[in-house]
Amino acid sequence: MKAENQQLLLRDELIVPTDKVLEKELGEDIFKIYSELREKISVDFGLDHEWRYYKDGKAWLFKATQKKKTIFWLSAWENLLKMSFYFTHNSHSGIFDLPISYATKENFRNAKPVGKLIPLTFEIDQKEQLMDVWEIIKYKKGLK
């Protein structure tokens, strides 16, 4: 399912995305994926994370960081989570050496740069998609 056909959620600055709000907005299945993702990035990867409202995009975004380095951004959509990693020209080629799906590599190969950064975006609506995400997080954490 593509995000272009979906509605971006969490648009009200006054409604903080607590677990209760997220479960209602995302639905039970996507909320379970979100919960597993949040747990694993905290416990296994030691990442900090927070939801913050961004006035420029008029939506709440989830930002995962290691010290001052942003590892990924996550947004909530109707029936899916959209997760984006950004790489520089120097750091992007290592993605193709990772044990991730051919589809993920092709998605990244065809990505249009955002300024000087190359995005790798996942539209997550199945738990199995997280396998590639874990590899990308490990890689991004290891970059200087």
The 10s digit of each residue's pLDDT in 73-129 is 999 999 999 999 999 999 999 999 999 999 999 999 999 999 999 999 999 999 999
The pLDDT value given to residue 3:
54
In one letter, which amino acid is 136?
A: I
DSSP 66: E
Distances (CA, A) of 78 to 93, 114, 124: 32, 24, 11
Q: Answer yes or no: are the C-beta atoms of 3 and 80 closer than 8 Å.
A: yes
CA-nearest of 104, 96, 89, 108 to 139 is 96
Inter-CA distances, 88 with 45, 64, 94, 100, 105, Å = 22, 18, 11, 19, 16
What range does the domain containing 57 cover?
A: 3-142
The pLDDT tens digits for 21-42 are 999 999 999 999 999 999 999 9
- The whole-model pTM stands at 0.93
Number of domains within the chain: 1
Whether residue 133 is predicted with pLDDT greater than 60 in this model: the reply is yes
